Amino acid sequence: MRISSFKTTLLGMILVPAGLLTACGNSEGNGGTGASDTAALSTTPMTTDTGTGMTGGNGAGGAQAVLSGTKADTTLSGTARFMEAGGRVTMNLDISVPKMANQTVAVHIHEHGDCGEMGNGAHGHWNPTKEPHGKWGEGQFHRGDIGNVTLDASGKGTLQLDTDLWSISNTDSTRNILNRAIIVHGGKDDFQTQPTGGAGSRIGCGVIAKM
């Protein structure tokens, strides 16, 4: 079921029927936090500046994922921006989930760049090195195990990550993060539960694409 051999330049995500990707999806749908109260459907992904000054090194340019909510009762917006220079990728993540103010949510890179089926089209955590789920930078972990983001009183949170384990220019499938999905969960990653971190249901999603 892996599609990592897709030529990234083809943006294979839009060519793959969602149905093909649902057959082996492992479930992270349990244990999500509150889905009880009602909020407006998120229909407005953030459209802030388009990244002036984001010059990726070695001509790679930048990449980004525009995040939007997967559930009608949870407004979510955000962006994950990626720049590459000197063999390292820097991610700047901004998310807004007003309903979850003062809470902590997990964010991962999931394997497939498909946000369909309420995020389940993205399948499990991106794990090209076949390691257990864990905490970024400590022992073994999935290459998609970004970690937790604590939201402030207005539901906004940010995270920056700098790594040589990712690339947006190298097509090596163990490093290439293009055409994969950023998933925001309704709960916190415990860094232990396999293979999901026990992070709960998928409340937000966006596909990483070249800018």
Residues of this chain that interact with Zn ion (CB under 5 A) are 125, 133, 142, 145
- The least distance separating Zn ion from the CB of residue 65, rounded to whole angstroms, comes to 17
Q: What sign has the CA pseudo-torsion 43, 181, 161, 82?
A: negative
State the nearest-atom distance from the C-beta of 133 to Zn ion, in Å.
4
Shortest Cβ 15–Zn ion spacing (Å): 26
Contact region with Cu ion (CB under 5 A), list: 5-13, 89-97, 156-164, 179-187: 179-187
Interface with Cu ion includes 108 (CB under 5 A)? yes
C-alpha span between 22 and 28 (Å, rounded): 13
Q: Which residues pair with 161 in a beta bridge?
A: 91
With CB under 5 to 8 Å by kind, the binding choice for 145 among Cu ion, Zn ion, none is Zn ion
Q: How far is the CB of 129 from Zn ion (least distance, A)?
A: 11
User: Which position among 80, 89, 100, 183 is part of the footprint of Cu ion (CB under 5 A)?
Assistant: 183
Q: Which is nearer to Cu ion, 108 or 143 (CB)?
A: 108
Q: What is the 3-state secondary structure (H, E, C) of 1-62?
A: CCCCCCCHHHCHHHHCCHHHHCCCCCCCCCCCCCCCCCCCCCCCCCCCCCCCCCCCHHHCCC
Q: Which residue is nearest to Cu ion (CB)?
A: 108
Pick from 154, 153, 146: which is nearest to 191 by CA? Answer: 146
203 binds Cu ion (CB under 5 A): no
Contacts of 150 (CB under 8 A, 6+ apart): 103, 104, 157
Taking CB within 5 to 8 Å according to partner kind, which of Cu ion, Zn ion, none is near residue 183?
Cu ion
> How many residues line the site for Cu ion (CB under 5 A)?
2
Binding residues for Cu ion, per CB under 5 A?
108, 183
